[in-house]
Amino acid sequence: MDTLCLVVPKKKAEPVRRRLLEKGVLRKDVQIRSDAKNVYLPVTQRIDLGFPVEIADFREVEEQVTDYRVLVDLPEELRPHLPSSYDSLGSIALVKMAEEVAPYANQIGKAIIATQKSIKTVCVDSGVTDEFRTRRIKVVAGEKTTETTHKEFGIVFKMDVSKVFFSPRLSTERESVARQVLPGEVVIDMFAGIGPFSIMIAKSKSPKIVYAIDKNPDAVSFMKENISLNKVAVIEPILGDAREEISKLEKADRIIMNLPHDASEYVADALRMLKPGGVIHYYEIMEEPKVQPRLDQIADTARREGRVLNELARRRVKSYSPTMNFYGFDLQFF
């Protein structure tokens, strides 16, 4: 496409480009060109900035489709049922699919792959089940694999999304917990999964040791791989039941309890292994009216164990369902 342009020597091009942008005369519908000496800045009108003005041929900017829904061909009345978001775990997209659009799963998957470069596989995620909190997963488009490597805050997490639990939506939470860790702390991650809390802490802080317990052999196996991929030395992975394993460890300054449906059953066990003034990061999925009664119950458990609860912080980390949220609590016990 022929358009007016300023011919600017390469070294001077960037400030001129910014000036044209500020003046609102830089064309954004065509691609800026350059050769060995000059940059050709396409403009909407003749402008005198002391550089030659020419007419030259430019390539049009291709409009990038970013919303996969534009590419899905289905009856209009079903369009509102298309998933409005999905989780990206490395090269895998996990999509929760309403029944109404389930027959279009392959088309939806292909559209996601076409609009998000990093995604090579799309899986339908039918929810987390069983004590290992693994997802029911079905590959519906792209490469037939459930293994991926996810990056977060410069840390890599290898996993099989059908065999272990991992949520990218907890990355800020992990970072917030890691930020609180002091040098030399003993940390216990009671339900550690593939190790995201433990590795984040070991990588960004200087704990004495992080004991990372999980009952799922696949989770512990990926955790070991992730410990070595991220070159962290202070984590001791432990395969087993947290209730049993925690009692064999030294007392901790900090205990992480991310088992959001059942953590309340393990509070007394955790308290027995927590140093005076230590902190428990406690997570639970519940309705808002249940939050205070749960904290009162934890305070009662603490009293029975001869401890006193000091609530440092509570936060709604993410929503879980129309009525339930995932809450995080930083609880100190004297």
Ligand X SMILES: C[S@@+](CC[C@H](N)C(=O)[O-])C[C@H]1O[C@@H](n2cnc3c(N)ncnc32)[C@H](O)[C@@H]1O
Chain residues 3-42 in contact with ligand X, contact rule CB under 6 A: none
Residue 71 token pair: 């590419």
Q: Which is nearer to ligand X, 116 or 221 (CB)?
A: 221
- Number of helices (H), then strands (E), belonging to the chain: the values are 8, 17
* CA 309 – CA 129 distance, rounded (Å): 32
What is the residue-wise DSSP string for 7-39? EEEGGGHHHHHHHHHHHT-B-SSB--EE-SSEE
Q: Which of 119, 242, 267, 331 binds ligand X (CB under 6 A)?
A: 242
Binding mask 190-229 toward ligand X (x if CB under 6 A, else -) reads -xxx--xx---------------xxxx--x----------
Shortest Å, Cβ 145 to ligand X: 20
Q: Which is nearer to ligand X, 185 or 189 (CB)?
A: 189
Integer Rg of the chain from CA: 27
Instruction: Count interface residues toward ligand X (CB under 6 A).
Output: 20
Residue 155 token pair: 């840390």
Q: Which is nearer to ligand X, 110 or 294 (CB)?
A: 294
Shortest Å, Cβ 118 to ligand X: 21
Instruction: Kindly state whether residue 259 participates in binding ligand X, applying the rule CB under 6 A.
Output: yes
Q: Write down the H helix ranges in 9-128.
A: 13-23, 105-115
Shortest Å, Cβ 151 to ligand X: 15
Shortest Å, Cβ 192 to ligand X: 5
* CA 252 – CA 209 distance, rounded (Å): 9
Q: Which is nearer to ligand X, 15 or 240 (CB)?
A: 240
Residue nearest to ligand X (CB): 193
Q: Which of 244, 173, 180 is nearest to 211 (CA)?
A: 244
Residue 30 token pair: 């065509």
Stretch of 17-25, 26-34, 128-136, 180-188 contacting ligand X, by CB under 6 A: 128-136
Q: Which is nearer to ligand X, 139 or 201 (CB)?
A: 201
Q: Which is nearer to ligand X, 191 or 329 (CB)?
A: 191
Chain residues 151-190 in contact with ligand X, contact rule CB under 6 A: 165-166, 170
Instruction: Kindly state whether residue 258 participates in binding ligand X, applying the rule CB under 6 A.
Output: yes
Q: Which is nearer to ligand X, 125 or 214 (CB)?
A: 214
Q: Which residues contact 256 (CB under 8 A, 6 or more apart)?
A: 177, 187, 188, 189, 190, 191, 192, 197, 198, 280, 281
Q: Which of 127, 240, 264, 253 is nearest to 192 (CA)?
A: 240
Q: What are the backbone angles phi and psi of residue 102, rounded to the nearest 5°? A: -55, -40
**Residues in touch with ligand X (CB under 6 A):** 131-133, 165-166, 170, 191-193, 196-197, 213-216, 219, 241-242, 258-259
